[in-house]
Amino acid sequence: MNTGYFQYPAPANEPVLSYAPGSPERAGLKKQLAAFKAEVADIPMYIGGEEVRTGETVDLRPPHEIKHKLGHFHQGKESHVKDAIAAALAAREKWANMDWEQRAGIFLRAADLIATKYRFHINAATMLGQSKNPFQAEIDSACELIDFLRFNVHFLSEIYRQQPVSAPGIHNRMEYRPLEGFVLAVTPFNFTAIAGNLPTSAAMCGNVVVWKPANTQVYAANIIMKVLIEAGLPAGVINLVYAGGPLIGDICFADPNFAGIHFTGSTGVFQTMWKTIGQNIHKYKSYPRIVGETGGKDFVLIHKSADAGIAATALARGAFEYQGQKCSAASRAYLPDNLAADIKSKLVADLKTMKMGSTEDFSNFVNAVIDEKSFDKIAQYIENAKKDPKAKIIAGGNYDKSVGYFIEPTVIETTDPNYVTMCEEIFGPVLTIYTYEADKFDEILVTVDSTSEYALTGAIIAQDRYAIELATRKLANSAGNFYINDKPTGAVVGQQPFGGARASGTNDKAGSMLNLYRWLSARSIKETFVPATDYRYPFLNEA
Ligand SMILES: NC(=O)c1ccc[n+]([C@@H]2O[C@H](COP(=O)([O-])OP(=O)(O)OC[C@H]3O[C@@H](n4cnc5c(N)ncnc54)[C@H](O)[C@@H]3O)[C@@H](O)[C@H]2O)c1
Ligand SMILES: N[C@@H](CCC=O)C(=O)O
């Protein structure tokens, strides 16, 4: 029974804790890290409210300490994916009909649980499972996830409030129904917040969800699921399954009740999914919603008027925080020849001070890359650069996987603006720089725009306002998130809605109203109070 219209005002962003020496949060986080290190977690799938264990397990190990076993998860088969779809569909009617304020209460409670009781759990799990330092874990798994949950409740309440006008004698209204079927959420390794947002944003709109995380993110995904259950999420609304991506895709994309995919990950995987959905389009009850945020080749363009110190810091943080494993990471930079030497020396000096190692030592800025496959791929780019006359390594270039998947922050300088590492997404701690003639700014703008297939993030560093204006205009389609005098990473929910176009995705801006609209199917209802009783128009009476 709905007894009122309830408001959910815009929340404030969750404050970022410092974890400074002597702070209570530092002690709490250290304690939780030790507790996780002392146990071996046995992580089930969650299907229809039941914990499902198959006995076929996959080990989970910190990327920075591969000899240590954190635990294992239970791998699912075809039957588990089918069970997850069935559980979702069985939960659909009751969930879709639940009053909005009851649904909202579950996600707001989950946000508060993460902000308090489970803050150190989710951060410690992300630090151990995904090799993030405390600051990177805090801004992702605590703050961004909390913000996604709270802001989406606010945005959805704003959408529900939007109603059509009504002429005299009638009442028009708009219902924002969930999609007819189930939504598949497929989430990446690199952000715990994204893993939490993709299933919950669709579920918040009244949809039921099958959620498949990346294997390398399962350790923290398990905590998200436990929090949602404790917050009161009914059985079957979100079903968490671990099975190979292609297997999940094959089953879900062949199901007539498939209603949408909420994906974040690489461009190649998304394009394969889109093709499969296209081939199966005749099978579905409705046209599925296809939402995908994918790869990037994010640029930093430095103008001759820039402050060299600001440019060097934007590159150091933008390229190497979380080992460059952010879709937004600066991976190609364009330096004007009047400032290039100064920027390079400042950047190289900064990199020399960056410590690399385990996430349990809070003084390490750089940790390990996610897994061996990724390590080998990044190392190959570095080896190729060492041999190529068009490239020179001016910082880093070493790597070692004996203890963990460690790769030094590496800067490649190239004489070719189309060198392979200026064009392809590497997804690791590798920045390539190219020096251009400072007076050929117009030409370099064309190069920046046309070098890569992606258009996710980018930055202009300049003091000259005409240069900023020109870059903002000429690079209008080169990035979905554009930064002026800042690094191209670190978008905050509610402040910089995030997403890119071209090969970087459908630009449905996670953590904004635009994204939530994709999980709703509106129904217009017109009610006439005194209906007509005669079909004749007045002019028919003239004759
Ligand atoms: N644009 C953004 O907002 C954004 C954010 C984060 C990450 N990313 C991108 O994600 C990538 C890194 O993440 P990743 O390594 O986890 O990506 P990935 O594409 O390898 O994996 C993403 C998810 O897809 C699953 N998957 C893999 N192959 C599949 C298949 N054939 N069918 C169905 N599912 C499949 C994976 O298991 C995982 O859950 C980078 O390209 C990065 O740019 C983009
Ligand atoms: N939203 C994050 C990137 C997410 C992709 O990996 C940022 O803005 O840095």
Q: What is the pLDDT of residues 455-479, one digit of tens each?
A: 999 999 999 999 999 999 999 999 9
What tokens were used for 479?
């990035």
> Does pLDDT of 539 surpass 90?
no
pLDDT in tens, 71-84: 999 999 999 999 99
Q: Is the pLDDT score of 543 beyond 80?
A: no
Ligand 1 pocket: which of 189, 405, 507 to mutate (most atoms <8 Å of CB)? 189
Which pLDDT band, with edges at 50, 70 and 90, does 335 fall under? very high
pLDDT score, position 542: 67
Q: Which residues contact 320 (CB under 8 A, 6 or more apart)?
A: 351, 354, 365, 366, 409, 429, 431
Residue-wise pLDDT tens digits, 238-262: 999 999 999 999 999 999 999 999 9
How far is the C-alpha of 476 from the C-alpha of 466, rounded, in Å?
15
> So what's the pLDDT on residue 270?
98
**What CATH number is given for 30-53+73-294+505-525 in this structure?**
3.40.605.10
Separation CA 92–CA 111 (nearest Å): 23
> What is the structure's pLDDT at 203?
99
- Same fold across 30-53+73-294+505-525 and 298-484: no
Closest-CA residue to 263 (of 297, 291, 228):
291
> Dihedral sign, CA of 34, 39, 45, 47?
negative
Helix, strand, coil share (%) of the chain residues, nearest 5: 40, 20, 40
Residue percentage of the chain with pLDDT more than 70:
99
The pick from 201, 210, 266, 457 for probing ligand 1's pocket by mutation, whose C-beta has the most ligand atoms within 8 angstroms, reads: 266
Residues 6+ away with beta carbon under 8 Å from 289: 179, 183, 259, 260, 261, 518, 519
174-188 pLDDT per residue, tens: 999 999 999 999 999
User: How many other β-carbons are positioned within 10 Å of the β-carbon of residue 54?
Assistant: 16
Question: 189, exposed or middle or buried, with CB in 10 Å at 0-12, 13-18, 19+?
Answer: buried
| Ligand 2 neighbour 327 (Cβ under 6 A) | yes
Count the Cβ atoms, other than its own, within 10 Å of residue 34.
11
Catalytic one of 293, 360, 408, 425: 293
Q: Superfamily for 298-484? A: Aldehyde Dehydrogenase; Chain A, domain 2 (3.40.309.10)
* Percentage, residues of the chain above pLDDT 90: 98
In single-letter form, the type of residue at position 150 comes to R
What pLDDT, on a 0 to 100 scale, did the predictor assign at position 3? 81
Q: Is 39 a catalytic residue?
A: no
What distance in Å separates the CA atoms of residue 482 and residue 296, rounded to the nearest whole number?
13
- Continuous H helices in 238-333: 245-252, 267-279, 308-320
Name the residue type at position 516: L
Residues near 15 by beta carbon (within 8 Å), at least 6 away in sequence: 143
Q: Which two tokens mark 4?
A: 């009122």
* Ligand 2 touching residue 362 (CB < 6 A): no
Nearest-atom number in ligand 2 for the CA of 188 is 6
> What mean pLDDT comes out for the span 100-120?
98
Place of tokens 């909420």: 262
Q: Which ligand is nearest to the CA of 132?
A: 2
Closest ligand 2 atom, CA of 293? Answer: 5
The CA distance from 137 to 368, in Å, is 14
Q: How far apart are CA 30 and CA 36, in angstroms?
A: 10
Q: Check whether 387 has a pLDDT greater than 60.
A: yes
Are the CB atoms for 239 and 183 separated by under 8 Å?
no
Q: Structure tokens of 540?
A: 């028919």
Q: Residue 187 is which amino acid?
A: T
The residue type found at 178 is P
Sign of CA dihedral 260, 186, 493, 483: negative
Work out the pLDDT band at 56, boundaries 50, 70, 90: very high
Q: What is the radius of gyration, based on Cα positions, of the chain?
A: 25
Q: Is the pLDDT of residue 101 over 90?
A: yes
Encode pLDDT of 144-181 as tens digits.
999 999 999 999 999 999 999 999 999 999 999 999 99
| CB of 525 closer than 8 Å to CB of 173 | yes
The residue that leads in pLDDT, 225 or 5, is: 225
3 state SS of 399: strand
Distance 113 CA to ligand 1 centre (A): 27
Per the DSSP assignment, residues forming a β-bridge with 261 are 184, 290
Average pLDDT of the residues in 4-29: 96
Task: Return the domain boundaries, the chain.
Answer: 30-53+73-294+505-525, 298-484
Mean pLDDT on 400-408: 98
CA distances in angstroms from 262 to 236, 252, 274, 327, listed in the order given = 18, 12, 12, 16
CA 10 to chain centre: 21
Region 115-131 average pLDDT = 99
What integer pLDDT is reported at residue 5 of this predicted model?
A: 87
Determine contact, residues 181/287, Cβ cutoff 8 Å. Answer: no
d(CA 201, CA 178): 11
Asked if 7 and 146 touch (Cβ cutoff 8 Å), the reply is no
Q: How crowded is residue 4: how many other Cβ atoms within 10 Å of its Cβ? A: 6
Contact 500, 489 (CB under 8 A): no
- Determine whether 317 is exposed, middle or buried from the number of CB atoms within 10 Å of its CB (0-12, 13-18, 19+): middle
Query: Is 269's C-beta closer than 6 angstroms to any atom of ligand 1?
Result: yes
Residue 114: pLDDT band (50, 70, 90) is very high
Output the average pLDDT for the chain: 98
Answer yes or no: is pLDDT of 285 > 90. yes
Q: Quote the DSSP letter at residue 50.
A: E
Residue 536 burial by CB count (10 A; 0-12/13-18/19+): exposed, middle or buried?
A: exposed
**pLDDT (average), residues 425-451:** 98
Is the model's pLDDT at 1 over the cut of 80? no
